[in-house]
Structure formats: C-alpha cells, structure tokens
Chain A
Amino acid sequence: MIPDIAVMRTNQAADTKLLEQIADWCERYTPFVALDAPHGLFLDITGAAHLFGGEQAMLAEIRRALTAQKFSVRLALAATAEAAHALSHYKDGAIVPPAQESQAVAPLPTEALNTDPLIIHALKRAGLKTIGQVAARTRHELAARFGGAFITLLDRTQGRKGGPITPRSILPDLMAERRFAEPVVTQAMIAETLLSLGESLASVLASRGQGARVLEASFFRADGQTRRIAIETGRATREPKIIERLFREKLDALCDPLDPGFGYDLIRLSATFAQTAQADAVSFDTNAHDADIALLADKLAARFGGHRVMRFAVQDTHIPEAASVAVPAQHYEESKLAWKPMRAVEDAPRRPLRLFAKPEPVEVIAEVPDGAPARFRWRHALHSVIHAEGPERIAMEWWKHQDDVPTRDYFRVEDDAGRRFWLYRDGIAREIAHPRWYVHGLFA
C-alpha cells in the first residue's frame, strides 16, 4: 500500500485535451501529426528526419523533450503507422530498417494489433498469441473470420501497403487565424487583425446561435515562441468590436506586455468556450441594464482581475446574515432558487432594510420565557417598545458548527419614536437560562 498516493478520477475530456496539446506541440517536428487516441500520436516524419540529424537522433530528441515535460513516453519508428503503433507499445525505441517490419513485429503479442479486443480475444483463444503466429495463417482463413479490414491491418502492421495518416483537424468554426508573410509588430496591426478575426468568428458563432464566453488569442512569433492571452466575458458575446476592446483592455493591463520580438507570423483567435446566446446578445442595445452591468463587469475585470469585481447573489438559507453573498460579477448567475416570496405585497417587510454586519448587544426587558421586548437600551439610548411582532424563531445550521449554537427569536419592534428595529434573543428557554439580546438591523 502506498498511503500518500494521490488518486484522481479519470477525466477523459482532459486527457483528450492534453493529448491535443502534445499534438500541437509536436507540430514543431512535422506538420503531419495525427491522434492515436486515447494515448498515442502518429508523426509522419517523411522527409523531416534529416532536419533533426537522422531518425535515431530525432527519436532521441523527441524522447528527451517529452521526458523533460514529465511525460512517460514510448516511441517506435516504422514504415507504417500500424507497425509503429505495435512496436511502440511492446518494443520501446525500435527503429525498423526498411522492409523488415514483418520480422520486427512477428514476436510481438497479438494485443499489439490495433484492433477490436474481441478479435484479439478470439485469436488468443485459438492459440495465436503472437503476430507472427497470426500472420502464418492463410489470408483466406483470417479474412473469413475477421473480415477484410483485419487483413489490411495485419498487412500494414507488417509494413506492407501503408496508408497515409489523417492529420488531426482543428475545429475550424471556433477558430480563426491569419498568417503573415511579413511578421507584424505594431499594436495597430494587432488590433486590426483581432478585429477582423473577431468578425470571422462572429459569423460562425452567429450561424450556430452561439456566443463566446472565453476567447483566446494566440500570437505565434516567427522564432517559435507562442503567447496566449485569454479573456472571459460575463455574457455570451459575438460582437467583434467588444471582443477587440476587451483584448485591448487586457493587453494594456498586462504586467508582462506582449513582446513581438521579430514579429508574429501567425495570429489565431479561438473561442474556447462558446454558449448558446440570444440574438440580442450580438448587440447590447436591448436589455440595456443587465447588458451594461455585464459589460461594465467585463471591462473592470479585464483591467483589475475577475476576482476583484463582485456582485451580490441570493442564498437559499434561513440565516439572515447568510442570505446574500458576494460573488465575482462575471460568474454571477441568476439563482435558480431565487427568492421564495416571504411575504405578500400587502404585508410589512420581515427583513430589515439595513442588516448589521455584526449584531450589536442590547439590554432588554422582556417577558420570560418567550415574550417580546418591552424596553431596550441600545448605544446608551433607552427605547420603549410600542409595538412588537414575533417571535420568528431561527435555529442555526447545526451541521456547520461543532458546538450547539443558540436558536434566535427575532422580533420586529417599533419604539415610541416610530423607529423600527430588528431584535433577537440569542437562545430560547430550553437552551439558555439567561439569553442575551442583540439588535440585528433597522427597518426605517
């Protein structure tokens, strides 16, 4: 047993994303990179190996670079993707000389064939435990049992009739990019590029009825460095001007400003998180109030950071002081719980206009055990109670406290000067013999 092992739930989406990131990164070796999901990548290095000092050296370089990034890696190089797949899984580091794939894969276990596990199971059950044993059967026999596709796979694994790999495609409708023959350096040019990319993106988003919540701009420098800048919006957006403006705010606020160096040869704008958006989200003219707040929040957040811009949200709880809480404005969502109406329109309010952050102790004369206050002294002033209503009995959320916390009996009282207070007795008869009193808020 390893007591301090960190166990995490499988997150397939994250795994896929990571694999794609590695694939991205691998594009530095060859433009032809394909996914071999769930855990592999194919690199077609035809004509590329010499750039890295030959096959051996290239393999070593890839291994070094990936290992440096703390990935464990198994590599193999062969004439076909299928052969490379088989070898990488069972013979790490193999480089197969031309036309020798057949011998190279023969001793590998049948599982090395990249095919349906049911077929593997069937082959093994038949006693065919290596690729060599499988290949020794007649094509006829195998084709009758496992179909033509299997024969093709077997052939390819043996290095015959290799097929092209399918370079992975990037979802084009969420991404727009522009390449420059002449690298760009000026802010104006960058802004203009972002605007035009935003326009392309907007048209795609509009066609899907979507807007972007998270946008990312990638700046590829000619010398291979990349810089990625992301912005978030509070409402789904596809207005190019707003996008451009938000990026401008963000770029201006960067403590580590963009350094174009010798210029960018590629700028890419992608909507990394898109959401269904109403048509009116394109323009902020309608529903102006909410939209203004959202835009203001976005602008402020772009400048000061999302965690600094807050908004109050309703909480579903009996505890008065916990009934609202400040949340980052960009993440504010209309609560599904909303307010359960506590009163009818004609009733008097049951919560004070002003709730004290910290209830203030008062001296109270009240009927025991559960009567309303008759007189109380607060901040040295004595108030005589003319009207009182209550108690509203609120018990604390016991699961949040280690010890017993007293139940509160709230009273709405009006003094002889017409002032209204929200007082509570901290503890009811069965809990505390001599409870203290507090004023928790003012009605008017």
Chain B
Amino acid sequence: MSVVSFKQDSPFRHAEIGVTSNYSFLRGASRPNELMSAAILLGLDAIGIADRNSLAGVVRAWDALKQIKEQHSGNVPKLLVGARLVFVDGTTPDILVYPIDRAAYGRLCQLISKGKHRAEKGDCILCLADLLECHEGFLLAIVPPARPGTETEKTLARLNGVAAGRVWLAASMLHHGNDEKRLQELHRIAQVARVPLLAFNDVLYHAPDRRELQDIVTCIREHVTLDAAGRLLEANAERHLKSPTEMSHLFRKFPQAVKETLRFASFVKFDLGEITYNYPEEPVPKGKSPDEHLADLTWQGAAQRYGIVPPEVEKTLHKELTLIAKLEIAPYFLTVHDVVHFAKEEGIFCQGRGSAANSAVCYVLGITAVDPTKTDLLFERFVSQERKEPPDIDVDFEHERREDVIQNIYKRYGHKRAALTATVITYRPRSAIREVGKVFGLTEDVTSALVSTLWGSGDYESWGEKRHARMRQAGYQGDNPLLEKAGRFAKELCGFPRHLSQHPGGFVLTQDPLDTIVPIGPAAMKDRYFIEWDKEDIDALRIMKVDVLALGMLTCVRKALSLVAGYTNKKFALADIPAEDPKVYDMLCKGDAIGVFQVESRAQINMLPRLKPREFYDLVVEVAIVRPGPIQGNMVHPYLRRRSGKEKVEYPSPTIPGSDPDELIPVLKKTLGIPLFQEQAMKLAMVAAEFTPPQANGLRRAMATFRNVGTIDKFKDMLIDGMTRRGYQQEFAERCFKQIEGFGSYGFPESHAASFALLVYVSAWIKKYHPAAFCCALLNSQPMGFYAPAELVRDAREHNVEVRHPDVNRSEWDNTLEFTLDGTPILRLGFRQIEGFKEVWWTEQIAKSRGNGFATFDAFARRAKLPKRALIVLAEADCFQSLDLDRRESLWAVRRLPDDEALPLFAAQFVEDMPSENITALPVMPLSEHTLADYQMMRLSLRAHLLQFLRETFRAEGLASCHDVLNARDGDHVRCAGIVITRQMPGDAGVVFITLSDETGVCNAVVWNSVFERWRKEVMGSRLMVIEGKIQRSEDNVVHLIAEGFADRTAELDKLSEDHPPADGSAPAVNMHRHPRNVRVLAKSHDFH
C-alpha cells in the first residue's frame, strides 16, 4: 500500500461521521481499509465508521490505520468507533452512536448484544427505548430521512431531554434537486431543538467508482435484478468520501455544520487499543497467584513426564516460566490447561498443535505431545518478549466428542464470559458469480455454467484469464459484454463479507462480561454464542483465545487403540506406542500409507518413497514438504537431492565484507541448507535480508491474510533487495520469497509439523501392526481423510485382513472385529456402511431383540419389529446370509410383509399369523448384479470389482488395466479405464491428480493444466473414466500416467444393471420413472480442491 500521508493544502478541515463499510452487509461497498486509505488521501481529520447495529468492521479499520501509522510518518485521521443504530419501532430515524470512552463503549457493545439476542440469523432488534436506557457517554447524531418530518423533531426532543449537549442533527446533501430547501428545513429543526447541525455525506463507499458495486449489492440484498431495481438504487454516485474542500463547498451556506464535525470528533476519547482483557479466575485456586499455580502444575507435570527431570529440561522450564511471568500470561496457560484437563479426565483424546509445541511448559502440562527439548524447538518462537503478540494455543480434540468439551466450557464459564469467535463468510468466486449473475438477470443456466466451469474457490485469478475459453467450453459466447461485466463485478465482490458465522472452536474466555468488549449474538446452533470479531480481529487487539478444534484422526486413533486393547489386553495411551519402529518406517518408505494421517494424499504417497523417512524428524519434514510453500519455492527437489547424497549440502553465504559467511547455518542446518518451514523463511528474512523483528512480523502478517492486499509487493522488494545487497544470489532470494508467498496460504511451521508428525507415526504404527483395527476405526470415524470406505476396505484386504459382509446376526451399527479360532481379527462391516439404514433401527430394535441370534427370517421380522422400509434396506444390502437367504430370496420374503406405514401395530402381529409359503426358487442373481447391488447399498463390494464385468468390453477396445499400467515401460502410450476414486488439486500447483481403480489395482494419473483446461468436463464429471496418456516411470519406480486425453464412460455402469435389452433391441422410448437407487450407481468420488 503506497499510501502517502498528507494533508491537502487547503484551509478546509472535515471529519466524516457515520461511514458505512461493507460490514453493513450488502449496503456498504468499500472495505474498511479502503475507507481508511481514502480518508488519509483526502486529508480528513477524523473518520467515524458506523455500521448497521454492528461493530464487526471497526477492528479492521483500526488495524489498517495502525499499520499505515507504523509505516508512514505524518498525520493520519482519528478513527471514531461507533455504530449506526437502526430501530424497528416505526419511523424512528437512524441514530449514529459514538461512545466517548471505554465505559460507554462497553455499554454500546451490551446494547447491540441485547438486540442480537432478540433476533435470529445475525439480525439485531432495537428500539429507541433501549438506547434511552444506556445513552450515557454516547454522542448521538440523528440521521433524518429524505423528507424530515415530525418524527425527526420528536426523536431529537426526546434525546435532547436526557442527553443535552450530546445530540446532533446530521445533514447530508442528497443531490435530489431540493438540497438547499432541505438543508434550510433541517437547520430550522435543529434550531428549534437547540442542537447543532452536523455535516456528513452518509458515505457508502470510498470513491465514486464504487457506485456500480453498491448498486449490485443493493440488488443482491433486495433480491431484484438491476433492470427491476428502479429507484431502490441510488440516483447517483455521490455517497463517497469527500474531501474537506468539497464538503465545505457543499455546505457553503452552513459552514458551521462542517466545523461542528471537528468538535464532534474531539469529544471522542475512546480508542480500540484501550480494550484490556482479563482471564477467568476459575483455574487458579484461592490464595495462589496464577504464576505460582502454573509453576506448581509445571513441576508436577514434569515429574510425571520425566520421572527425574533432566537438568536441561529444568533449565528450559525455568526460563519459560520466567518469561511467562514477565508477560503476565500465566492465566492463559492455566485456562488452556483447564480445558485440556477436563478432556483428559473424560478420556477424550486431545493434542495441542501449532506453535505451542515449542513450549516445554505446554508439553509437561500435557497440552502438547512433542517434547521440544528432543526436537530442538525454541520457546521464543512461541512467546517472545519483542513480538508482544499473544501466544496461540490450538488444541485438537476427537471430532466426535468435541461437543462435550465445548459444553463443559459453557458450564464452567457461562455464556456471558465464554463465546466463540466469528468467521467472516466472504464471497468466493462461485458465490460471487452466482449472485452477480442473478442481479444481471442471467439465467440460472448461464450462471451455473459459469460456476460449474470453476474448480473450487482456489483458482480465482486464473478464472479471470481463462474465462472466455471456459465459457466457450460451456457452450456460451465467450466475449459477451454482459457476461464480461458480470465477471468483472463478481471479481470485485470477491472477498466482501456476506455474513458472520461462528468459528468452529475459537473460544474467547474472560473474567469480566465479554459483552462489554464486543457485541455477542446467538449462533445458528442452539446455545452457541459468538462475538462479532474474527480471529484476526482479536489477534490485532491481542485478545487471547483457545482454539478447541476437531480432528478426525484423534477419534480414529482412540477407537483403534481401544479395539486393540480389546484383544491384546494392552491398554495403549498415545505416549505408549513404541517409538521409532523401523518396520513402521519400512512400510511408509514403500508409500503404503492409505489412511495414515497427513501422508495419505496422492502427493504425499508419491513423496514417501523419495524421501524415505527413517526417523521421527523425517516425518516432520515429510509433513511440511508437500505444501504449497516449499513446492512454490522450488525447495523440494534440492532437498531430496541433498538427502539422497546426490548434491552437496551447502549454505548460501553473503559476500559483502564483514558479514559472517556461515550466518545461515544455524537457520538451515536441520533441513540440509534448504528452508522448508515457515519459521526458517522468517528467520531467513531477518538474518539474510536484515529485517527487523517488526518487519519480519509484518511480512508474516501480510502473507497470512488477504486483508492487506498490496503490502506484499513492498516486502518482496525489501526481501530481495536486502538479500542481494548482502551478496546473496538473486535467484535464491526470489525462491525464498516465492516460498514465503506459498506459506501465506498454507504455511506449516516446524512445531505444527512436529505435532502432526506424531499422529503420522501413531497412525502408521497402528496400520502396520493392527490393520484390521485401523481400518475398522477409520470406517467408524467417517467422514474423514482422503479415501472412501471402498478404498479403505480394499487396502485392508490387501493387507490380508479378512472383511465380512454385514449380517443381521453379526453386525452392529459400527464396524466391529471378529476373531478366527487362532485369534486373528476379522473386520465385520457394520450397518453404518449401508445407505439408508438408520442408527435407531440398530440401537432400539435389532440390538435389543437379537439375544442369541435369529434363527429364521420370520423370527427376525417378528422380534426386531422393524418397519418394512428397514427390512427392505437390509434385504437389498444382502444382510440375511446367516439365515441362508440371499439377496433375492430375502427381498422376496420382505415384500410379502404387509405395508406397515399405515398399520404399524398390525404388521408384527401379521407376521406371526402368516402362513408359510412354498415357492419355487427365484432365478439366481448373477455376480455382476450382486456386485452392483453391493455398490448401490454400501458403495463398496466384497465380491468383485465392477470393472471386472466390463473387462471384456474394454479389452476388446484395447484398454489397459491398472495392473498393465503399473508394469508398462517408461514412455509407453496407453489407454486405461477405471473408476475414479479421487481427484485432487493440491493448492494452486496447476495439476490435477486422478486415481483410477479397477479389479487389478489402482492407476495414478497426472493431468497438467493445459490438458485439464481442454478436458475439464470429462475430468470433473466422469465416474468411470478412460485416460489416454504416456507412462512416466521415475527412478524410484513410481509409475504415473501423464494424461493426454479423456473419455467419460460412466454410462457403461448403467448397462450392468440393464442386463435385459428390450425385445426389439432398441432402447425403451420412455424411461421417466427410474428408481432413485438405479440412477446413480456409484457414489461421487472424493474430490479435494
């Protein structure tokens, strides 16, 4: 942001009050930082943000201003924090409220909270009476309607009655043709009420060229098209921030009204920086200081972790505790400990992630699981005196039991003192195009064509460039001016906030009522409340939060370990897993990692045989290396070459005299001279480019968010200039910057990678030694991970796990383990794998009536008393095999039962009375149909692979199997058919990975961007796909099919069920009625964007 702070050389001064930002959703058309920059350029004395019944945008404005101040000298406008209160009672005009001090600010927060609690969906219901109850310390400016009437006079009188001297009448020049007359009238009203007139422009955007976007958001808000909007839209583009000169010109007849704005602004003494924060007292026992208590807990924990605490650990702990005491953040650690302690007592697995893993105190308190002294992590990276930033402790909990943890937090601290942070839901390319398209009156076909040609929300920039091509692909004229306009505004709308939603787990806990700090409102979920600020806002204000996150793998590990405990009689905690088992690493080196935490993605599985992890730290690297940062920075291959000894380990050196040639060795030693982690990149900026700590921090923040668009280029120059000036190679400097850029979106700090690496090891260990339990736990923890149940089951079977079909006499809701006579575990699929089966059918009916098992179908029907619908599902899923009934027979039997939807009570009775039936055998179901039915009911089949039945057709066409592909020679040209199991597009690497599966195995294809653009439709839409391409066999024998062409053969799957062609050989004329189950043979593949 190249904002130069200057004041226009003009005798006029002005403070703009009542500015609407885009946090007045679908009203304001400028971002807070845009408004701030404009205010500086215009040389305003002050700017008063006032969003509709909300303080959601003020921190962003405050932060933008603060950053500009940090980077530029000179005057910046004063920020007035306030809100525009909009009332529900009749014709009460809007009132701009600005608290003069901290106490009044607290009252404003409470007032808005009150309104929010009355409403739903983020609305706020306020009456004038509410304001009159708590007006103390508020500056109140009434915004009269276009035709000021008695209501304005009445409201003025009422306010002036209680708050004399703090009431103004705001006057704007609407350019409706009668401005002068209206201003005279307002002047009269103000004089009668004895309040000053206050000039303002009722600003909706920072510059006149935002009018168009403002029109669009108005249309979105009112659900109309531009053509139909008429006078809902503003008549002109005047509601932008205006310079003091312009305002003085507009109000030349009443110059006093402009002067009054300065007086108004001078009353406000409140700055958001004054918000202080105090911690809950609960975790600290009476009579102890937080520091003392933390020390006690730390030494207790250390004794538990180590037995005898090693001297260097003791030294570290002392050091940390001293710093914590100095920064007065002990209560924060205690609060987090309190939450974690609860979880542990309840037996809920949890583990800290992120930079907290740098702290030995966190480790001994049981918050994190990585011993920082062993992995050489540094506490300074977590908490530092210079950085003055709050530490950030994120804790993962089992995803299925996180709710218990959250409820406990509410129980312990109450709703007034514990609330979730907000997540600002913003317009992404998809939603922006959809909405803007509607406003332009484009038909849904067109907008969905526009939308459907997008992949996820990541490739927004490329969308702009490739729009024309994609529109043509979707069958529309690419350069249609209307589409062009819609696209342009969709782009502008991107990143605008749509509404606030609750953050999944970021809690803010306080001692004093939280609603005096920030407005709180109810969330969509019952008994959930969230504040108006998001993570970045509270970071900016240094309010600390505890992230109570959910992690599926923790659930899975807990489930797997309890299954293992069930048959080995060994109870495992996370810490009891034998460390550094070479066989576990052997397995990972082969790329055998389906289901393993973090390293199961295609890119990771490809990396494993190349990186060949042999110890824990290798896993830390493995987790961090397949990320956009190192990939964009081109750090991956150099690292691999050095690791395999093909390249010498060297450290880039500065060449200018007087500098230490080895200055980067301490920074990069652990990673063989190649920066891989976020901290290294930052450290590199400080050491090699001589960034000051605040600059490095600014760089990190600039990367982390979109909100500082534009600042990044400045840092780029600073970094590259700084490094080259000191004699580093330009090319190395550029790579470093690229990597930092990549970290921006998905950065992995080392500590975070270490926390995750621990779960990688644990899950890999379980997979290696207890594959049945591992698969069972994974299936029971779905949805999670990259792979669908079919792949997980297939992987387990490849690891010699016997898997059995669900059965009414054997299965439970969850998948379970059975055992052979010699104790080998067998995976029995549970009812949860069956589509359409309800859990209550198991818990309330089958589980309660099964006893020693059902001997006959009639016995089952009679005792379980399931609705006919449930019986049909079970029969369709072939769950009566233990009763010697196959799918057809059981279905035939079920059909005979009376329809119980109408007469449920008689149904069971009827079963008892039903005479036995002697029927001839039904035709035997062919294997292909069984398989297809399995897929339809469970999305997997233990009998066969669907492709097996198409093999003959495909072989005749000369298509290769996955097995053929695996054994093909490098450079061979092949065509291979298979069912798409995953489509992954990591980051914005410009490449799509597709995994096909058939009866012989899987085939991994790589689709480069240019090919993808051409075959987008086939790539995105096929379930059964033929890929044509070239074999690429790497030195490590990893085989890829480099795609060159595609064919969508999904229709073949339908033929499997249509085994009887129509009598005259033609397709049926009308096929309107299809059973829904017949329509979609296969589940959608797992796609990751």
B425 near A: Cβ within 8 Å? no
Tell me which of A89, A92, A318 contacts B235 (CB under 8 A). Answer: A318
A340–B236 touching, CB < 8 Å: no
A174 near B: Cβ within 8 Å? no
B922–A393 touching, CB < 8 Å: no
**Stretch from A117-125, A208-216, A262-270, A373-381 at the B interface:** A117-125
- Please give, as numbers and ranges, the residues of chain B lying within 8 Å of A46 by CB-CB distance: none
- Please give, as numbers and ranges, the residues of chain A lying within 8 Å of B233 by CB-CB distance: 318
In Å, the complex CA distance between A412 and B177 comes to: 8
A181 near B: Cβ within 8 Å? no
A391–B892 touching, CB < 8 Å: no
A317 near B: Cβ within 8 Å? yes
In Å, the complex CA distance between A402 and B482 comes to: 9
Query: Given A127-B888, A133-B923, A144-B896, does the pair A120, B177 have CB atoms closer than 8 Å?
Result: no
A126–B891 touching, CB < 8 Å: yes
In Å, the complex CA distance between A391 and B231 comes to: 18
Of all chain A residues, which has the CB nearest B1067? A90
In Å, the complex CA distance between A120 and B211 comes to: 59
**Stretch from B557-565, B599-607, B1057-1065 at the A interface:** B1057-1065
In Å, the complex CA distance between A394 and B475 comes to: 38
In Å, the complex CA distance between A74 and B1073 comes to: 18
Produce 1/0 per residue, B884-917, CB < 8 A to A. 0001100110011000000000000000000001
- Please give, as numbers and ranges, the residues of chain A lying within 8 Å of B235 by CB-CB distance: 318, 392-395
- Please give, as numbers and ranges, the residues of chain B lying within 8 Å of A89 by CB-CB distance: 1068-1070
Number of A-B pairs, beta carbon distance below 8 Å = 129
Query: Given A127-B923, A141-B919, does the pair A109, B1072 have CB atoms closer than 8 Å?
Result: no
Produce 1/0 per residue, A342-355, CB < 8 A to B. 00100100100000
Chain A CB within 10 Å, residue with most, of B178, B229, B920: B178
In Å, the complex CA distance between A126 and B237 comes to: 70
B226 near A: Cβ within 8 Å? yes
B933 near A: Cβ within 8 Å? yes
Tell me which of B176, B177, B212, B1068 contacts A90 (CB under 8 A). Answer: B1068
A125–B175 touching, CB < 8 Å: no
- Please give, as numbers and ranges, the residues of chain A lying within 8 Å of B181 by CB-CB distance: 389
- Please give, as numbers and ranges, the residues of chain B lying within 8 Å of A398 by CB-CB distance: 211-212, 215
In Å, the complex CA distance between A373 and B446 comes to: 48
Q: Which residues of A391-444 have CB atoms within 8 Å of chain B's CB atoms? A: 391-395, 397-399, 402, 407, 410, 412, 430
In Å, the complex CA distance between A68 and B177 comes to: 66
Of all chain B residues, which has the CB nearest A119? B895
Of all chain A residues, which has the CB nearest B917? A141
B226–A399 touching, CB < 8 Å: yes
Q: Which residues of A106-140 have CB atoms within 8 Å of chain B's CB atoms? A: 107-109, 111, 117-118, 120-122, 125-130, 133, 137-138, 140
- Please give, as numbers and ranges, the residues of chain A lying within 8 Å of B1071 by CB-CB distance: 111
Q: Which residues of A29-59 have CB atoms within 8 Å of chain B's CB atoms? A: 38-39
- Please give, as numbers and ranges, the residues of chain A lying within 8 Å of B1074 by CB-CB distance: 117
Tell me which of A108, A121, A138 contacts B1077 (CB under 8 A). Answer: A121
In Å, the complex CA distance between A316 and B224 comes to: 13
Distance in Å from the Cβ of B202 to the closest Cβ of chain A?
14
Query: Given A395-B211, A399-B440, does the pair A126, B226 have CB atoms closer than 8 Å?
Result: no
Distance in Å from the Cβ of B864 to the closest Cβ of chain A?
20
Produce 1/0 per residue, A330-349, CB < 8 A to B. 00000001001000100100
- Please give, as numbers and ranges, the residues of chain A lying within 8 Å of B669 by CB-CB distance: none
B147 near A: Cβ within 8 Å? yes
B374 near A: Cβ within 8 Å? no
B481 near A: Cβ within 8 Å? yes
- Please give, as numbers and ranges, the residues of chain B lying within 8 Å of A340 by CB-CB distance: 231
- Please give, as numbers and ranges, the residues of chain B lying within 8 Å of A111 by CB-CB distance: 1068, 1071
Tell me which of B231, B923, B924, B1063 contacts A128 (CB under 8 A). Answer: B923
In Å, the complex CA distance between A38 and B1072 comes to: 9
B709 near A: Cβ within 8 Å? no
B876 near A: Cβ within 8 Å? yes
Q: Which residues of B1032-1079 have CB atoms within 8 Å of chain A's CB atoms? A: 1059-1060, 1062-1064, 1066, 1068-1075, 1077-1078
B180 near A: Cβ within 8 Å? yes
B230–A90 touching, CB < 8 Å: no
A39–B226 touching, CB < 8 Å: no
Of all chain A residues, which has the CB nearest B1066? A92
In Å, the complex CA distance between A267 and B718 comes to: 91
In Å, the complex CA distance between A317 and B1060 comes to: 62
A125–B876 touching, CB < 8 Å: yes
B88 near A: Cβ within 8 Å? no
A227 near B: Cβ within 8 Å? no
A130–B919 touching, CB < 8 Å: no
A390 near B: Cβ within 8 Å? yes
- Interface size of A in residues (CB-CB distance below 8 Å): 55
Query: Given A127-B925, A129-B1059, A389-B181, does the pair A316, B888 have CB atoms closer than 8 Å?
Result: no
A273 near B: Cβ within 8 Å? no
In Å, the complex CA distance between A92 and B1066 comes to: 10
A218 near B: Cβ within 8 Å? no
Tell me which of A74, A90, A133, A316 contacts B1063 (CB under 8 A). Answer: A90
Of all chain A residues, which has the CB nearest B181? A389
B177–A126 touching, CB < 8 Å: no
A39–B1070 touching, CB < 8 Å: yes
Of all chain B residues, which has the CB nearest A388? B180
A315 near B: Cβ within 8 Å? yes
Query: Given A91-B1063, A145-B892, A395-B236, does the pair A128, B922 have CB atoms closer than 8 Å?
Result: yes
Produce 1/0 per residue, B84-114, CB < 8 A to A. 0000000000000000000000000000000
Distance in Å from the Cβ of A115 to the closest Cβ of chain B?
10
B923–A144 touching, CB < 8 Å: no
In Å, the complex CA distance between A320 and B908 comes to: 75
B208 near A: Cβ within 8 Å? yes
Distance in Å from the Cβ of A66 to the closest Cβ of chain B?
14
In Å, the complex CA distance between A392 and B485 comes to: 28
Distance in Å from the Cβ of A253 to the closest Cβ of chain B?
36
B16 near A: Cβ within 8 Å? no
Query: Given A126-B922, A392-B175, does the pair A399, B1078 have CB atoms closer than 8 Å?
Result: no
B1075–A127 touching, CB < 8 Å: no
Distance in Å from the Cβ of B243 to the closest Cβ of chain A?
12
- Please give, as numbers and ranges, the residues of chain B lying within 8 Å of A71 by CB-CB distance: none
In Å, the complex CA distance between A120 and B1078 comes to: 11
Of all chain A residues, which has the CB nearest B439? A399
Tell me which of B440, B485, B888 contacts A126 (CB under 8 A). Answer: B888
- Please give, as numbers and ranges, the residues of chain B lying within 8 Å of A315 by CB-CB distance: 230
In Å, the complex CA distance between A3 and B474 comes to: 10
In Å, the complex CA distance between A349 and B227 comes to: 26
B592 near A: Cβ within 8 Å? no
Distance in Å from the Cβ of A303 to the closest Cβ of chain B?
34
Query: Given A397-B226, A398-B212, does the pair A126, B236 have CB atoms closer than 8 Å?
Result: no
Tell me which of A91, A138, A146, A412 contacts B895 (CB under 8 A). Answer: A146
- Please give, as numbers and ranges, the residues of chain B lying within 8 Å of A390 by CB-CB distance: 177
In Å, the complex CA distance between A118 and B895 comes to: 11
Which 7 pairs across A and B sit closest by C-beta, in order of nearness? A316-B230, A392-B177, A127-B923, A393-B175, A145-B895, A117-B1073, A393-B236
Interface residues of chain B, those whose CB is within 8 Å of chain A, are: 147, 175-178, 180-181, 208, 211-212, 215, 226-231, 233, 235-238, 440, 475, 481, 485, 876, 887-888, 891-892, 895-896, 917, 919-920, 922-925, 933, 1059-1060, 1062-1064, 1066, 1068-1075, 1077-1078
Q: List 27 A-B contacts (CB under 8 A).
A: A3-B475, A39-B1069, A39-B1070, A74-B1069, A109-B1063, A117-B1073, A117-B1075, A121-B1075, A121-B1078, A122-B891, A125-B933, A126-B888, A127-B923, A127-B925, A137-B919, A137-B920, A138-B919, A144-B895, A389-B177, A391-B177, A392-B178, A393-B175, A393-B235, A393-B236, A393-B238, A395-B211, A399-B485
With A145-B892, A395-B237 given, name 18 new contacts (CB 8 A): A90-B1062, A92-B1064, A108-B1062, A120-B1073, A121-B1075, A125-B888, A125-B891, A128-B923, A130-B1060, A137-B919, A315-B230, A316-B229, A344-B147, A347-B178, A392-B175, A394-B235, A398-B212, A398-B215
